[in-house]
Structures are given as structure tokens and as C-alpha cells.
Amino acid sequence: MFKKVLIADDLGSINQGVSSILKDLKIKNIYKVQYCDDAYLKIKKAVFDKEPFDLVITDLSFQADYREQTLNSGNALIKVLKDEYPDLNIIAYSVDDRIEMIRGLNDVGLSAFVCKGRNGLIELSKAIKNVYEGKRYFSPKVASAFNDKSNLEIDAYDIKLLQNVSKGLSQDEISAIFKSSGVSPSSLSSIEKRLNKLKIQLNSKNTIHLIATSKDLGLI
């Protein structure tokens, strides 16, 4: 398990919760800071002393107070750390669970993201274990955004396909029409694949349900 861990959170009591989890995981060398700048300096010094941290757990939102901070959010801290120490394991732990924000952190190489919530501490524990094993972890609530490969967006091709289906044309006939009018892809198999994808996207049980839903949404 990790030997040396740094917790950055401006609320001591949350720190306490986190440290209780770490104790359960038999991690003894725990350091706590309440400012991002402090976290950065401590990590830098540890590297300098040749006793670097194995893991950094940080909140994202820090309350501004009388101390002027260079790094005033967990996001900024993560970006700087990942820039200087790409191999450093960082877990973000936050109330803010907006997917677009988490995607940004994912892009810079964040190891895990845990939503603060009812199961926050349990998820954090899982995250630490996963990261130790070299895996990445995202709370179930946000994981779908990364795992769900389906896109929300449907394109002009999809609309054309749905329109033809709604006219009662068979897949063979649609394929022929697409071929003659130069619409690509026009093969029977790709049309079938696309229809299945649309059924999943529109949460439809069959083709009839798909067309009904499309009509309801005014897509066709």
C-alpha cells in the first residue's frame, strides 16, 4: 500500500474522515495541508529530500481567506503537479461532480475522481485501492460519462435513415436508395448497425418504438 500520502482540504473535519479511511488501509505516513500552495511546496520539498509522496488526495474548491494564494483551486494544483510530476498519483475528491469539469481533469491525467456524498468515503477507499493497483477510478455517478461510448448527438444521416424507415421502407430498399443517391454508408450491414445504435440512443425496444419516439421528439 501507499507509504506517504498528502491530503489537501481546507476543512479539517473532512480531513479527519479521509484520514480515518487511510488508517483503515494501514497507511501511517499522512500529511495534511489546508492550502494548495502549501500542498505544492510540501510535494516539491519531499521530492527534493528524496522522500516523495506516493499519493495526493485533494479537494477541488478552497475557500479564499486572508492568505493570498497562487494556486486557488484543486484544479490548478492538479494541473501544476501533473505538469511537473507526471507519475504522481492524484485523487480528486469533490462536491462538484459536473462531467465537463471532470473531463478536463481526466485530460491532464488525474488518477481518480470521487464524488463527496453519501458513499463518498467508501468510494474513496475503492479509489485508493484501484490507483494502488495502477487502475483509474471514477465514482459511479460520473463514470457513465467516460464509459458510455454512445453519443447523445444524432446526425443528418440518422435522420435520413429514420425518415426512410418511417415511410415503411425495408432496410434493403433504404440501402438501394442510399446507393443511388450517393449517401454513405449504404451497405445493408451498416444500416442495420446504425438502427441498433439509434434504438439504444433513443432507449427503444424495437424499430416501431424507435420511430414513435423519433416522431414524439420531432426528429422526423
Give the nearest distance from C-beta 86 to another protein in angstroms.
20
Q: Is 159 in the site for another protein (CB under 8 A)?
A: yes
Q: Is 100 in the site for another protein (CB under 8 A)?
A: yes
Q: Is 13 in the site for another protein (CB under 8 A)?
A: yes
Listed ranges 30-38, 163-171, 178-186, 195-203: which one lies at the site for another protein (CB under 8 A): 195-203
Q: What angle do CA 7, 24, 92 make, to 5 degrees?
A: 30
Among 2, 96, 125, 166, indicate the residue that binds another protein (CB under 8 A): 96
CA dist., res. 27 & res. 128, Å (int):
11
Give the nearest distance from C-beta 172 to another protein in angstroms.
27
> How many residues sit in the footprint of another protein (CB under 8 A)?
41
Listed ranges 7-15, 82-90, 163-171, 178-186: which one lies at the site for another protein (CB under 8 A): 7-15
Sheet holding 112-115, edge to edge: 29-33, 4-8, 55-58, 89-94, 112-115, 137-138
Among 152, 180, 182, 206, indicate the residue that binds another protein (CB under 8 A): 152
What does each C-alpha distance from 87 to 20, 78, 111, 126 come to in angstroms? 26, 12, 10, 20
Q: Which is nearer to another protein, 87 or 216 (CB)?
A: 216
- In the range 129-148, which residues lie near another protein by CB under 8 A? 144-145, 148
Give the nearest distance from C-beta 42 to another protein in angstroms.
22
Q: Which is nearer to another protein, 1 or 217 (CB)?
A: 217
CA dist., res. 154 & res. 192, Å (int):
16
The closest of 95, 98, 85 to 46, measured between CA atoms, is 85
Q: Is 149 in the site for another protein (CB under 8 A)?
A: no
How many other C-beta atoms are found inside a 10 Å radius of the C-beta of residue 75? 21
Cell digits of residue 219: 426528429
Residue 86 contacts by C-beta under 8 Å, 6 or more apart in sequence? 109
Bridge-partner residues for 57, per DSSP?
A: 7, 91
* Positions in the binding site for another protein (CB under 8 A): 10-11, 13-14, 16-17, 20, 61-63, 95-101, 103-104, 116-118, 120-121, 144-145, 148, 151-155, 159, 201-203, 213, 216-219
